[in-house]
Structure 1
């Protein structure tokens, strides 16, 4: 199967985007239609806080164009808990909520953990065993968004690799960077956009992001990223790549995403 680089933002409902992204006369009901026509991916934050219905997922699927993908943040009840091994019911409730209705527009499921959550090998290993490989005939891909320095551990990377889960690479001033590849796709969250820049990032930063994404897609590892396991070369194979502009100067996220899409084209 061919691979792709998909670039997008978090969500599509954000009031400042009425000034910086959406046409002024665009009805709010058509924001997803417009956003998905300009971008190639969106990370849905609403699924982290609320349980959606199959009808909602089907509506999103039918609104977005072919080739577009939604990544979904898994419900917080599955990840914001002291004992992850006890998350089975919450994991099943989320996966069975209708995510399969997205069909081939379903991107990775992002399991986001609190910044205070430390790596516990036994407990995290038990949690990974709870993540299903599919739902309703649709294959599931899992991305682990860990936010504590204790996860910069080869043991954790090995566990993610054994389960085919990607470790989210976060470009942030607040959270650790884990650039080692552990899956057949790459998931990057860029959180350093700045309000004083029209595109949120500089031309040099766009060039760097484009170079990284292209290198990842072709099966390589960008040279500029310091790895936790520098002596372990990733398996050489083409990969899907997701680059999401999240947080930072959120009003600039759509401009940053569109500028990167332009660079890649």
Structure 2
């Protein structure tokens, strides 16, 4: 289990209160509660807007020493700029406080929009611009603009920085896509989306990133015991040669924490 991290995509969901979260638990303690039961969480608020260093520091302080956060890259970069001008946009993203997570910073997820077709030249340029160490990310962060205030442009130690790409257009179902990821040492996200989006399950680097959006209905349906057995078998196989990060994103009916805990039990 040292090579396997399992959790949920996000943790601030009102329907979880009084169902997964104990009645009366203060909202500010929800992450603390969840982090005692799972081994990782995917921060998704960073997708919607730049966060602040104080938020990352608070989240790190609320979780166990061996806890890991994955982080969703900003939609301004992936959906609005559509990967263009990435040197500038990445500087702002990394200056927003990402590195304040310190040793708890895990992979960074770049989810591409469903309308963005496979463009090997554009994607190659974007992947080239991604920093591969925390030192490189800190240096990049120094080039941020006035939209990031306060900023965080230092790292406590030089650590490897991992990235994963999730695609949602069928044009990525070509051998050229995983070949490009392999060239850059980037993971292809294994996204189970009830058949709505492409499923790419080729291992392209030293870790595997899995997002489970729902077995039958996107963001809603849970996973049966048999389905979790199948995912557990895949995870065990992957973990013999790679680290594995798994996040349940089927949050609409409080399925995500339930399924994460069940999968963790199966992998004990």
1:259 and 2:262 aligned: yes
C-alpha distance in structure 2 between counterparts of 1:59 and 1:142, whole Å: 23
Give, in angstroms, the shift of residue 194 of structure 1.
6.8
Aligned CA-pair RMSD? 1.8
Query: What CA distance in whole angstroms lies between the structure 1 residues aligned with 2:29 and 2:225?
Result: 31
TM-score, with normalisation over the residues of structure 1? Answer: 0.86
Residue of structure 2 in register with 1:179 after alignment = 201
Q: Is the Cα–Cα contact under 8 Å of residues 100 and 138 in structure 1 kept in the other structure?
A: no
Q: Could you tell me whether the CA contact under 8 Å between 1:168 and 1:187 is conserved in 2?
A: yes
Give the structure 2 partner of residue 157 of structure 1: 178
Structure 2 runs not aligned, ≥5 long: 135-154
Query: Hey, what does 1:246 align to over in structure 2?
Result: 249
Whether contact under 8 Å (2:11, 2:30) holds in the other structure is yes
What is the CA distance between 1:3 and its match in structure 2?
Answer: 4.7
Displacement, 1:214? 0.6
2:34 aligned with 1:35 = yes
Match of 1:141 in 2: 162
What displacement does 1:93 show?
Answer: 1.0
C-alpha displacement at 1:134, in angstroms? 1.9
2:112 counterpart of 1:91: no
The answer as to 2:234 corresponding to 1:212 is yes
Q: Kindly state the Cα deviation for residue 250 of structure 1 after the two structures are TM-superposed.
A: 4.6
Bigger drift between 94-103 and 120-129 goes to 94-103
1:201 aligned partner: 223
Q: Could you say which residue in structure 2 is the equivalent of 1:57?
A: 56
| Deviation >3 Å, runs of 4+ | 247-250
Q: Match of 2:18, SS?
A: helix
Q: Secondary structure at the match of 1:93?
A: helix
Q: Give the deviation of 1:81 after TM superposition.
A: 3.9
